[in-house]
Amino acid sequence: MATDNLLDGKCRLDKWLWAARFYKTRSLATDAIDGGKIHVDGDRVKPAKEVRVGQVIHIRRKELDMEVVVKALSVTRRGAPEAALLYDETPESLAKRDNAAVTKEADHAKRERGAGRPTKRQLRDIKKFTGISHF
């Protein structure tokens, strides 16, 4: 599987990102590369850039921000377990994502029941109690 359909051990970046299941389609991968969301060895690249084993790819998507090292090349899209064999995530990237997940959980505070704006039922009770017909 390491070099499916490859003659010389090279692969286009957009095809590799698609085969490694970072993007659902090659056109989405191409748009991300053109938009500057993908960097190879710290440089902004084009979709036709040849990927080689050992290169570091930085991928930025919504909440996902990760750095991976290319382990194998493939131009065919397979299942997720096989796609995961194409790359290794760097330890720094894993630590950063774990830290981001913890802080994201802490960002959303739980509101106490009854705190904040009154519910429809509470408004009806207030109107009945005070005799005021509008709020």
Write the burial class of residue 82 (CB in 10 Å: 0-12 exposed, 13-18 middle, 19+ buried): middle
Amino acid 22: pLDDT: 94
Catalogue all structural domains in the chain, each as residue range(s) with its CATH number: 3-94 (3.10.290.10)
Q: Are 87 and 71 in contact (CB under 8 A)?
A: yes
Whole-number Å distance between alpha carbons of 96 and 14:
25
Q: Kindly tell me the number of DSSP H helices and DSSP E strands found in the chain.
A: 5, 9
What integer is the mean pLDDT of 32-41? 95
pLDDT per residue as tens digits for the range 74-110: 999 999 999 999 999 999 999 988 887 777 766 566 6
Amino acid 7: pLDDT: 44
Is the model's pTM score more than 0.75? no
Q: Is the dihedral of CA 13, 15, 16, 22 positive or negative?
A: positive
Amino acid 6: pLDDT: 55
Q: Are 19 and 86 in contact (CB under 8 A)?
A: yes
What integer is the mean pLDDT of 57-77? 91
**Mean pLDDT of all residues in the chain?**
86
> pLDDT band at residue 131, thresholds of 50, 70 and 90?
confident
